Amino acid sequence: MNILFDINHPADIHFFKITIGKLISEGHKVFITARDKDVALNILDELNLPYIKLSSAKQGLILLAFELIQKDIRLIPLFIKNNIDLAVAFTGTCTSHVSKLLRVPSLVFYDNDEAKLQNILTYPFATKIFTPACYPDNLGKKHERFNGIKELAYLHPDHFHPDSNIYNELGLEKFEQYIVIRTVAWGASHDIGQTGISKDDLKQFIDTFSNGWKIFIIPEGELEDEFLPYLLPTKAGKIHHVLAFADLFIGEGATMACECACLGTPAIYVNTLNPSHVIEVEEAGLVFYLKDGKHASRTAKKILENYNKDEWTIKTQKYIRSKENVTNFVYNKIIENGS
């Protein structure tokens, strides 16, 4: 098969990378298109995965609309030139459009039920839609569910083993305590009008915890000068090793909060949006949800006062045992729906 994977977000690479490797090893031809968003291109480069850049991430509805049109237009000749048999994407707005136009099957994997506008622009055009079982909406006959969250496609224990050498890369003594903070750029269509951790909240949190813990910040956009000393120093591809050994994560991004849920690291998710996959790990006791950052320091203190890594790991393992290996599901669906 000639299969096209479209990458919109850094997490998309991780979601598909094991499946892509397996398909290539079996002789399938894989084509990757990518959006320049955050560290997505860096990760593709680190993994030595060739790609075609379709666009750079824009902010605001008008610019996002122009970007979508640009991607649609650029994808059409790529589909034709490479005789694409199947298009696969996480989110999948532009691939579903072009696939519909050219009568090529398109598979869309997605988990964010809060991304209303994006989903309206995507789902009607997709051939098949795959979501976590916790997804609340019924999307009709072309909708299938998998028993898990997307992060288990790459952080399932079958695939991922944390490397404690990450302490050296972070400039820390082995098992020295640290906290990871993630800020987002608020540029996606579903982010418009939403809020999370304010500058004052961030300063308060750092002032409260920097004496006992090393603080690392992972920004999606530009980081203000006063916070630059806390910038995470490792390569983008090492982030999951960083999260695995952290004592606490606090962030505005749902993906990293759920990644921590799969890694045995307590997570505080701060955002006015709370999609169903975050609610699932919250109900499992693995993530703490806050609508704003005002109470982040207080919540963190409560977690760290009673924190025991072994107990947290056991809780995470119990959750993972109740789920499937999501990569196996992804691979099987691609093979089933390919020509």
What b-and-e string marks burial along 108-124, b requiring 16 or more CB atoms within 10 Å of the CB? bbbbbbbbeebbebbbe
Average pLDDT over residues 294-298: 85
Is 166-321 the same fold as 2-148+325-337? yes
**Is it the case that residue 161 has pLDDT exceeding 90?**
yes
Q: What confidence tens digit (pLDDT) does each residue in 51-70 have? A: 999 988 777 788 888 888 99
Q: Which residue has the higher pLDDT, 324 or 192?
A: 324
How far is 36 from 7, CA to CA, in rounded Å? 9
Residues across the chain:
339
Q: What confidence tens digit (pLDDT) does each residue in 206-232 have? A: 988 988 899 999 887 777 888 889 999
- CATH number 1.10.4080.10 given to 2-148+325-337: no
pLDDT of the residue at 199: 80
Q: Taking a C-beta distance cutoff of 8 angstroms, is the pair 82, 2 a contact?
A: yes
Q: What confidence tens digit (pLDDT) does each residue in 14-45 have? A: 999 999 999 999 999 999 999 988 888 999 99
166-321 fold: Rossmann fold (3.40.50)
**Is it the case that residue 187 has pLDDT exceeding 80?**
no
Percent of the chain residues topping a pLDDT of 90: 66
Using only C-alpha atoms, the chain has a radius of gyration, in whole angstroms, of: 20
pLDDT of the residue at 191: 42
**Is it the case that residue 123 has pLDDT exceeding 50?**
yes
Phi first, then psi, for residue 276 (nearest 5°) are -60, -35
Instruction: Using pLDDT thresholds of 50, 70 and 90, give the confidence band for residue 192.
Output: very low
Q: Taking a C-beta distance cutoff of 8 angstroms, is the pair 57, 68 a contact?
A: no
Phi first, then psi, for residue 90 (nearest 5°) are -100, 120
How far is 44 from 39, CA to CA, in rounded Å? 9
Strands 143-146 and 128-132: parallel
Average pLDDT across the chain, whole number: 90
pTM for the model: 0.90
Domain ranges for the chain, please list them.
2-148+325-337, 166-321
- Count of CB atoms within 10 A of residue 24's CB? 13
- Work out the burial of residue 56: count CB atoms within 10 Å of its CB; fewer than 13 is exposed, 13-18 middle, 19 or more buried: exposed
